[in-house]
Amino acid sequence: MQSHDVDYQESDYFYMNEEDDNLYAEPEFYVDQFYDQAQFGGFSEGMDEGGLSPFSLLELIEHCVHPTLVDGFSHISKVFGWSLIFRVVCQIQGLPEWIKHVASMVTGTLLAVTFFPTSVMYLLFLVLTSYTVLAITEGIRGPVIAATVISYNIGCEYSLSDPVSWHQVRGAIMICSMKIISIGFDLDTISTENAEKLAEAQESSGDKKKQDKHANNKKAASDNDEGGQGTSEGKEEDTEKVDYLLTDCMPGWFQYAGYCMCPGTVIFGPWVSYKQYNNIFLSSSLCSLKWCFRIILPVVLGFMFLTVSTCWSQWFLPDSEWRWLMAYRDALSFRTSHYFVSFISEATAIAAGLGAIAQASDDSVDWRMGITQPHKIELPRSLVQVVVSWNLPMHTWLKKYVFKEARKSFGPGIAIFTTYCASTILHGLSAQLAAVLFSLGLYTWVEHSFRKKLARILDASVETKKDEIGKYKYGEKCAWVILVNFLFSVLSIWHLAYLGVMFDQSESSHTGYSWNHTLSKWRKLGFRSHFVVIAMMVINFFMA
């Protein structure tokens, strides 16, 4: 393909603009952290013959919705319980901060033991080993710890004799891995900034000495004694500045383990930065109406989506001979189970004290932890919007610690490929994830390029994102532009049904899907989605 067809460096899709970190992101297809919906009350009775469609509304509520909610709450209550205990400990006045970090470590570990009794050691071993690696690799912590974590994930994935146990803890391992890698690169960044500040301070000090040398020359002899004292004081000040700049920001063991095992994020996520974790200890308010509301709302939304995943989708869309309708139903079930995990993770994180946002207007505190945006996924303008909205913390992490770091050394093309590889490895190197991730990458690249050229040819706002500055003649409110964007939205929904059809609740879901499972699902649909994208790619190649 000709190099001028797609401007990688200026692409709104491939990396996020520094001025607006919430608009664009590299592709990422975050998958439920491997917590099966069946674990939270999935109902299977009657599924072999027409799904849940033979049930009446009352029977559906009695035999599916109610047990799903009860079983789901029984699991989630454990996470909220330990998160609230940790939150209470953090609000005890006069308690040393290191004890609060210990509380985070202990409550998170006990919670992990509750969820992963037979595989929690994989998680604890990763935390202990990674801290040792970070402690002995000063200056190159980011790349070294990334290689260590990736090697650990690959080794466990292929050498464990019990794939079921590994599959259960793999989501928690992924979140912990992201935290560890982010600390490594953050420490390198701080070290580099400190070295630059030190160099600037020394250079500034040298220039000042040269400027003052001539003025102080005549007084040097008479002020020698007093000047000696002043010089000594000045050296002490310079030494203090140098010591401050060179202070190693490596967290202590309790701080590090508390961050990795924080009860609000250890099970369901989301990824939070070390700075966000430390902000927990700055909030002085234990409970407020806003805090309670920000916990209750995502819980309600999460369980609503859980019932859609396990009950309503099967009831509204019964078994049919139309394969594409069944593909849409299975993909919808998968997406809504992801929304459940995302909203519950938001609630548990806030319950633990994360997400505090100071309001400048009235000095109050609001609580927000945006994780996913279902409305932009179910009714997308484009697939680009889907990958951005799927998991906001995840795409922030990939952009900052994978894409940008790789782009520094290898350029944007390799950085994009590295991002997909990193995401695939963190998710467990499963066949269906690799297939979906790289397919989605191809889809979004073709869509972005095709619609950008089409917008230029038609002078209309039909790009993958809205034209906010009015650079096209035909804007968003033009009737035929609305129609064109609507058709692209329908196409995106069709692609999502195709890509998500493989994430079902078959036996393979407990150990990871094979390539045969993945290809057989797409083969039944005739690989039509891939063929459409290939056709768009060919047209895109010949477009001016």
Looking at the structure, do residues 361 and 477 belong to the same domain, yes or no? no
Looking at the structure, do residues 472 and 350 belong to the same domain, yes or no? no
Report the distance separating Cα 400 and Cα 451, nearest Å: 27
Residue at 238 is within a domain:
no
Single residue among 378, 397, 418 that ends a domain in this structure? 378
Q: Which phi and psi (to 5°) does residue 367 adopt? A: -130, 120
Looking at the structure, do residues 316 and 442 belong to the same domain, yes or no? no
CB 127 within 8 A of CB 112: no
- Number of other residues whose CB lies within 10 A of the CB of residue 388: 27
Q: How many CA atoms lie within 13 A of 75 on its CB side?
A: 23
What residue has token string 């939304």? 301
Looking at the structure, do residues 369 and 487 belong to the same domain, yes or no? no
CB 197 within 8 A of CB 245: yes
Report the distance separating Cα 88 and Cα 92, nearest Å: 7
CA distances for 540 relative to 24, 53, 88, 450, 454, angstroms:
22, 44, 57, 5, 9
Report the distance separating Cα 419 and Cα 37, nearest Å: 27
Q: What does DSSP assign to residue 59?
A: H
Beta strand residue intervals within 230-283, DSSP E: none
Report the distance separating Cα 177 and Cα 182, nearest Å: 9
pLDDT in tens, the chain (544 residues): 443 443 333 333 333 343 333 333 333 333 343 344 444 444 344 444 445 667 888 999 999 999 999 999 999 999 999 999 999 999 888 899 999 999 999 999 999 999 999 889 999 999 999 999 999 998 899 999 999 999 998 888 887 657 778 888 889 999 999 999 999 999 998 888 877 777 777 777 666 555 655 555 555 444 545 444 444 444 444 444 433 333 457 899 999 999 999 999 999 999 999 999 998 988 666 678 889 999 999 999 999 999 999 999 989 988 888 899 999 999 999 999 999 999 999 999 999 999 888 776 666 778 888 899 999 999 999 999 998 899 999 999 999 999 888 888 888 778 888 888 888 888 877 777 888 888 988 898 899 999 999 999 999 999 999 988 889 999 999 999 999 999 999 999 999 999 988 776 555 554 555 667 778 888 889 999 999 999 999 999 998 6
Single residue among 344, 378, 412 that ends a domain in this structure? 378
User: What is the separation, in whole angstroms, between the first and last Cα of the chain?
Assistant: 13
Tokens for 83, please give them.
Answer: 């998160």
Looking at the structure, do residues 364 and 448 belong to the same domain, yes or no? no
Who's near 14: CB < 8 A, 6+ residues apart? 8, 24, 26, 403, 412, 415, 416
Determine the structural domain holding residue 304 and report its residue range. 32-191+251-378
Residue at 413 is within a domain:
no
Provide the b/e sequence for 165-185 (b: ≥16 CB within 10 Å): bbbbbbbbbbbbbbbbbbbbb
Report the distance separating Cα 176 and Cα 256, nearest Å: 11
Residue at 401 is within a domain:
no
Residue at 259 is within a domain:
yes
Report the distance separating Cα 195 and Cα 216, nearest Å: 30
Looking at the structure, do residues 273 and 352 belong to the same domain, yes or no? yes
Enumerate the β-bridge partners of residue 367.
356
Tell me the H-state helices in 372-526: 374-378, 383-389, 392-398, 404-410, 412-426, 431-458, 479-500, 515-524
